[in-house]
A and B are shown apart, each in its own frame.
Chain A
Amino acid sequence: MTMTRQPVTPSQDSAVAQDDALVVDGVSVRLGGREVLHDVRFSIKPGEFVGLIGSNGAGKTTLLRVILGLLPATAGKITVGGKQRGERGAGKGAAGVGYVPQKIQLDPDMPLRARDLVGLGLDGQRLGIPFPSRARRKLVDEMLRAVDAEHIGNARVGNLSGGEQQRILIAHALISRPGLLLLDEPLANLDIASEQEVVALLGRIAKEQRIAVLISAHEMNPLLPVMDRIVYMANGRAASGPTDQVVTGEVLSELYGHHVDVIHVHGRVLVVAGRGEGLDIPIEHSGAHADGV
């Protein structure tokens, strides 16, 4: 069974365009004898905003970790900014990738101002004591402004609200001017207002700075206004393409391996499992906060 046929666009994905910010080409990952990712393939162009959608355990975090080089792929290859992962000259760590990890615990007892954390995104790996420079300060100020966080630059990061911390972490990830920004469930634990703020901010950054954004979420609706394309994951498999072509009963049923319906309600999307007999299990709610997240 191939999950990557129509309406996914394999022709476009397999032809590795040199200007693609990210190409994931047939990536599979086995962990402890279990296949957690199976033949995942998609690509992202600079400036594109792509949602990586799926429920818990679908393989989203694993995929992000493989793209970052934190986890080796069992098969397939990943190309970031034209350089293949693991290739010579690809750089240490995840060069060229900005990353906002999931559920980061910023301790109030950590002596770090928001601007210090942003600055560490620039040179956190360097050795020696940093000398304060005007250029560095200017860059940090610019980045704080870009995420609407100038006013909290001098506050202790651990004392900021969830949404504010998320904006600071985005600034930390962006200050080294990566071509690709990965965010792992950045909307989890945010209230609705902060959620909308963060989504709007990311959409704006993708367009203005021509950065490819790949954002994982278990709920697609908050991302619909800014999402250019979707990578929908279930059971370690992925279908990718324009949202209206991927989020259909036919594609998702094949992905899940059982029948699901896709219902559109007031511009929001609801994915429901089952055929109506017995209990229907809603896979994804349109009420973003109904499940207490």
Chain B
Amino acid sequence: MIIEILLALSLLGALVVFVLPDDYAPVGALIASLFPLVTSFLMWFGFDGSGNAFLDGGELAYETMVGWISVGPYAINWHVGVDGISMPLVVMTTVLTTLAILTAWTPIDERRSQFYGLVLFLETGLLGVFVALDFFAWLVFWEIVLIPMYMLIGVWGGPRRKYAAIKFFVYTNVATLVMFLGFIALVFGLGDSVTSLDMPAIAQALRGGELGSLGGIGPDTLKTVAFIAMFAGFAVKVPIVPVHTWLPDAHVEAPTPASVLLAGVLLKMGTYALLRFNFTMLPETASQLAPYIAILAVVSVIYGAMLALAQQDLKRIVAYSSISSMGFVILGLVAYTEFGLGGATFQMISHGLISGLLFACVGVIYNTTHTRMIGDMAGLADRMPVTTTLFVAGCFAYMGLPFMAGFMGEYFIFQGSFAAEFAGSMIYTAIAMFGIVIVAGYLLYAMQRTLFGEFRLDTDYSIGRASFHDVVPLVVLVICIIGLGTAPDVFFGMIQDAVGPLLEGGV
């Protein structure tokens, strides 16, 4: 029941904020976002689930399952629930939404009620993706997310916003179609052994080897084809090189709050779906294809980092660095060990917080300087000491400073992928680890040029200290990152509990 309340509160908030007068929208949206935030924390504190949501033998938390539509051979249920993988993501989503709303207070000055309404509507969709357990409901939420994000980029974005918004929409929508075809092929291949589109039921049937042939294609080929189709579809969302090209455009044009949510949560939809679909439902195919996926992951890490190194725009640097960081997540998934999968999930959370922090910092800097070009500014540390401190903290978190969340995520992933069983796992891990060096390179370079040295600003704006409400989200995020880095077990325990059953070969 509490999950329905969570979704209803954010949707209701969106509707109320949408019709508020513009002047009340920022505060109204902040208050509206606190309701889902508190609800998600209540869920977290009262979390009593165990095991994996998709496999037998565990106990789902806050599960609801009622009949929704029954048409022909397949029943569709309203089936929601959370386990140790989705719970942290739900909490991260509500936290980041509230903070994203705060980051919007300064830059967004037109059509405000519509803006905040869409942010809350986006939150509804994102939460839905993480809690839905029926494929149909999941797909509805998955698609709904596109609409507010398309609007947020397209209406409130930078100069090339329309191009970026449409590119984002087309890329992800085509990807969804490819993924959808792959998944539906599996469902048809299962034939009579599933009677609903319930994802846990489908996952268990697939793991139980119930897949038949479809249209003369044997089960093994079908698995491979479906795996590749779903992987390709989700890879766009993650994004993995070479289907990453929508991301820098979308990020650079998007307003700061949309960037925070895009990097913080939307990208995680891709890795979450990869974990839930490809790596939960088709583990054998995943292990067959592991070396190839690992190559893609390593290429993403290194190539993404190299691209970041070549940028002059602060926001582009952070955007490309996301590609690199998501490569680590893929590496963790493909390792398919307890630390690999758990680390990948943990990295989703930590990257969500850290990239959210960096985008928010870039936003604050842009609000005052009106430029994001590294060459246009220097020595901001004197003029904006608090922001600088927080930005430096974010960069170090990204580089993997111990006692910060990024370190723990990457540590878990490397520990997991080093021990992975596929051929050459150690080599891939070693190459990927080298990516961190490049990360340190471009972040230190960017910091040194913009924050330190003698003050210089090539735009016609006088620079002042950021307002209180701009700094609050940064401080909260830094606290969360350090908290998660020093006590990873607040999430890692439940994550381990949820990924454990995947490895035991259970159905």
User: Do A and B make up one complex?
Assistant: no
Partner-A contacts on B (CB < 8 A): none
